[in-house]
């Protein structure tokens, strides 16, 4: 049973995804620029030795990595990619995308692509025909997302047209001399429609968070402790430099207690980080287990993050036996939003 609940928290737009009564994803609007926001930025000053450039935007300083041939004072189209830490510049990319539920228009990458998860040959032919009819001779690229499978022709075509026209309008306004915000990033309600699966129930009345237990789940997320099967637990505690995760076996004293606790943490870690809005460097202080069991843990961790939508690099083991990850700061930390 899948439920999408749309509500507000302290005046902020919010959306929650529940599967069989468990909170799987949570989006809460913050005060920082939303990911997906598109600016006409102006190059300010390069960062020597890093190949990056600080940019001026209407919302403050932004930082663009790996930029070449951009002189100070020149305009450039950029898109917000994630959450900026306090006191740091907004992270942006010059690879601007125009994304909706069914279609992604890619001005910098021409060509037509259909999600690999759509394998039915007849369905792929249908989608190719829709795409070619809407894009015509456009030199912009198009990606049709997995949500297109079995969706109505007009719904897909309408999405393609909307993203194509938006891209054309933005590109036409790219050469101004002053910084400007050209597109506002999607809020939680729009993101829920855009990126989450079709629910069995859509709860969009005021008070839906309370009615479906989201408020209770939020209260539990305020605490660092996470209960794991068999009485084990983990503590997820963000610090300024990193996020520390400590795994404990609890009352289980069997030889396999450490492995069982670590596997349970691996399976639930992507969800916990997603709900808490945590990213950056993450260090796992795991329960004791034999070195021969490390491969089992790595396989479980890799499988869990493969299903997660936020870019995460599994860096590996440290000399002290900790396991490290590097995760994109895609969201504002939940603790900041609930404070």
Mean pLDDT of the chain: 94
Q: Is 307 in the same domain as 273? A: yes
Q: Of 235, 230, 234, 236, give the one whose Cα is nearest residue 256.
A: 230
DSSP notation for 276-317:
HT--EEEEEEPPP--GGGHHHHHHHHHHHHHT-SS-EEEEEE
**pLDDT bracket for residue 138 (50, 70, 90):** confident
Q: Residue 245: CB partners within 8 Å, gap ≥ 6? A: 234, 235, 236, 237, 265, 269, 282, 283, 284, 285
Residue 6 belongs to a domain: yes
pLDDT digits 0-9 by tens, 288-314: 999 999 999 999 999 999 999 899 999
Output the pLDDT for position 176. 80
Determine the structural domain holding residue 308 and report its residue range: 222-338
CB atoms within 10 A of CB 277: 23
Q: Domain for residue 184, yes or no?
A: no
- Give the CATH number for residue 54: 2.40.50
- pTM of the shown model: 0.92
Q: What is the pLDDT of residue 210?
A: 96
> 270 with 320, same domain?
yes
What's the pLDDT at 119? 95
Residues 92 and 133 in one domain: no
Check: CB of residue 206 under 8 Å from CB of residue 6: no
Q: Is the pLDDT of residue 69 over 90?
A: no
Closest CA to 84 of 244, 279, 245, 270: 279
Pick from 46-50, 108-112, 118-122, 150-154: least confident: 46-50
Whether residue 273 sits in one domain with residue 263: yes
Examine residue 319 and state whether it is found in any structural domain, yes or no. Answer: yes
- In whole angstroms, give the CA distance from residue 115 to residue 94: 23
In a domain, 238, yes or no: yes
Query: Would 19 be classed as within a structural domain?
Result: yes
Report pLDDT for 174. 86
* 53 and 115 assigned to the same domain: no
Residue among 62, 52, 31, 34 nearest 179 (CA): 62
Count Cβ neighbours within 10 Å for each residue of 205-231 and write b for 16 or more, e otherwise: eeebbeebbbeebbeebeebebebeee
- Number of compact structural domains in the chain: 4
What pLDDT score was predicted for residue 167? Answer: 96
The model's confidence at residue 206, banded by pLDDT at 50, 70 and 90, is very high
Shared domain check, 250 and 207? no
Q: Is residue 241 part of a domain?
A: yes
């Amino acid at each position: 049973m899948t439920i999408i609940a749309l509500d507000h928290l302290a005046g902020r737009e919010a959306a929650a995804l529940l599967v069989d009564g468990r909170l799987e994803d949570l989006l809460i609007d913050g005060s920082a620029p939303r990911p997906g926001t598109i600016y006409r930025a102006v190059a300010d000053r390069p960062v020597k030795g890093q190949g990056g450039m600080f940019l001026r935007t209407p919302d403050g300083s932004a930082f663009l990595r790996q930029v070449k041939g951009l002189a100070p004072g020149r305009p450039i189209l950029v898109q917000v990619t994630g959450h900026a830490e306090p006191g740091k510049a907004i992270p942006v990319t010059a690879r601007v995308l125009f994304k909706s539920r069914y279609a992604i228009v890619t001005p910098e990458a021409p060509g037509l692509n259909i999600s690999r998860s759509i394998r039915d040959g007849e369905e792929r032919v249908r989608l190719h025909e829709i795409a070619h009819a809407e894009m015509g001779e456009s030199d912009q690229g198009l990606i049709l997302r997995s949500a297109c499978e079995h969706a109505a022709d007009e719904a897909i075509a309408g999405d393609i047209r909307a993203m194509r026209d938006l891209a054309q309008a933005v590109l036409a306004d790219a050469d101004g001399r002053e910084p400007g915000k050209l597109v506002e990033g999607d809020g939680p309600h729009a993101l829920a429609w855009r990126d989450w699966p079709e629910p069995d129930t859509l709860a969009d009345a005021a008070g839906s968070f309370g009615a479906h237990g989201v408020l209770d789940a939020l209260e539990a997320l305020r605490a660092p402790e996470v209960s794991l099967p068999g009485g084990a637990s983990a503590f997820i505690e963000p610090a300024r430099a990193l996020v520390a995760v400590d795994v404990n076996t609890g009352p289980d004293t069997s030889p396999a207690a450490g492995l069982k606790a670590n596997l349970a943490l691996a399976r639930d870690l992507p969800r916990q980080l997603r709900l808490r809005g945590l990213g950056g460097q993450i260090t796992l202080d795991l329960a004791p287990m034999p070195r021969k069991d490390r491969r089992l843990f790595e396989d479980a961790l890799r499988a869990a993050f493969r299903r997660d939508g936020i870019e995460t690099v599994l860096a590996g083991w440290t000399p002290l036996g900790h396991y490290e990850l590097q995760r994109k700061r895609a969201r504002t930390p939940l603790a900041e939003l609930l404070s």
